[in-house]
Amino acid sequence: MCVSWQERFADTPDVLASAACRQTVVDVLDLKIGAGECIAMAGPCSVETEFQLIATALHVRRSGARVLRGGAFKPRSSPYAFQGLGLEGLKLLARAREESGLAIVTEVLSECDVSLVAEYADILQIGARNMENYALLEAAARSGRPILLKRGLVATIADLLRSAQLILNFGNPNVMLCERGIRTFETAMRNTFDAAGIAVLKQVTHLPVIADPSHAAGRRDMVPALARIAVAAGADGLLIEVHPTPDEAWSDGEQSLDFAEFEAMMTALTPWMELRSLELERRETGIEAIEVLG
C-alpha cells in the first residue's frame, strides 16, 4: 500500500481534503468557484488602454467568461519591459467591472500595494515569481480578499501547498491554487504544463484548482489543447490571456488569443465541460456510497 496523501503532505494538514472539508467554495460577487462549474477567467496579460480592456471584457463575457483578468502591476523577466500602469490600471479594471459585471482578478506584486489593489480587485493574484514571498502572502491573506496563488516556476506541489497553508494560517480560507506551467528540461513550449499536478491537487486538496494554459504554453496555438486537458483533469477554472490584437500586445502577445480564437475555444470546450460534470457527479456518488458503507 502506498503512503497516504495525509502522510505525504503531513506539514500542510489544513489544505488537504478530509471528511470534514471535501471542497472549499470561494464566493466572488455572484460566483461560486469550486462549486462544480469550471469558471473561465480571461483578459489581457497587462491592462493597456481603456478601449483594450473594456472591449476585451465585453467580448470575453459574451463568450462565457465570468472573471476578467489583467495586470496593472507586472512582474517582467526584463527590467526594460512594460511594468504596468499601476493605479491607473486598477481604475480601468474597476471601470471594466462596472461595464461588464465581470469580477476582477489582478496581480499584487508587493506587500506595500496590497491595500490599494484590494480596494479595486475581487481576487488578488500572487504571481509565480512571488509564490514564496511570505511577507506578500501574509499581507494578501490579511486583506481578506480571495487569493489566486500561482505555482512557482520551480515549485513542487508540496511547495505550493506550503504557501497555501501559510495563507490559511493567516486566517484567509479563500485560496485558489493555479497551475501555470513549470520549468523542466523540455523547451518546446515556454513551460511544461503539469496536467498530472492538476489531477493530484484535485485529489488531495479541498481548494479550488485553476489552470493557466496561456503561461504554460507560451504560444497561442497550444492554448486550446491545454485548456481541454485542464478541463479533463478536473480544473475548477481556466485563466486565459485574450487581447483584441495580440500581435500588438504590450506583454505576452504570443500566447494571447484574439476574440474569435477565444470564442472558438470556449465553444469547443463545451462537450469537455459536460464530461467533466458527469465525472464530478460520478465521483460524488462514489464518495457518498463509501461514506454510507463506512
Q: Which residues lie near Mn ion (CB under 5 A)?
A: 45, 252
Q: Which residue of this chain has its Cβ atom nearest to Mn ion in the complex? A: 45
Q: Are 213 and 252 in contact (CB under 8 A)?
A: no
Q: At closest approach, how far in Å is the CB of 196 from ligand PEP? A: 18
61, interface contact from Mn ion, ligand PEP, none, CB < 5-8 Å by kind: none
Q: At closest approach, how far in Å is the CB of 252 from Mn ion? A: 4
Considering the complex, state which of residue 240 and residue 266 has its C-beta at the smaller distance from ligand PEP: 240
Q: At closest approach, how far in Å is the CB of 47 from ligand PEP? A: 11
146, interface contact from Mn ion, ligand PEP, none, CB < 5-8 Å by kind: none
Residues that bind ligand PEP (CB under 6 A): 45, 71, 75, 127-129, 150, 180, 215
Considering the complex, state which of residue 111 and residue 252 has its C-beta at the smaller distance from Mn ion: 252
d(CA 237, CA 250) in angstroms, rounded, equals 25
155, interface contact from ligand PEP, Mn ion, none, CB < 5-8 Å by kind: none
266, interface contact from ligand PEP, Mn ion, none, CB < 5-8 Å by kind: none
d(CA 224, CA 98) in angstroms, rounded, equals 29
Considering the complex, state which of residue 36 and residue 75 has its C-beta at the smaller distance from ligand PEP: 75
Paired residues of 103 in beta bridges: 67
Smallest CA-to-CA distance from 117 within 105, 101, 128 is with 105
128, interface contact from ligand PEP, Mn ion, none, CB < 5-8 Å by kind: ligand PEP
Considering the complex, state which of residue 22 and residue 183 has its C-beta at the smaller distance from ligand PEP: 183
Considering the complex, state which of residue 25 and residue 153 has its C-beta at the smaller distance from ligand PEP: 153
127, interface contact from ligand PEP, Mn ion, none, CB < 5-8 Å by kind: ligand PEP
Paired residues of 124 in beta bridges: 106, 147
Considering the complex, state which of residue 69 and residue 202 has its C-beta at the smaller distance from Mn ion: 69
Q: At closest approach, how far in Å is the CB of 215 from Mn ion? A: 6
Question: What region does 154 belong to: left with phi over 0, alpha with psi -120 to 50, or beta?
Answer: alpha
Q: Are 127 and 75 in contact (CB under 8 A)?
A: yes
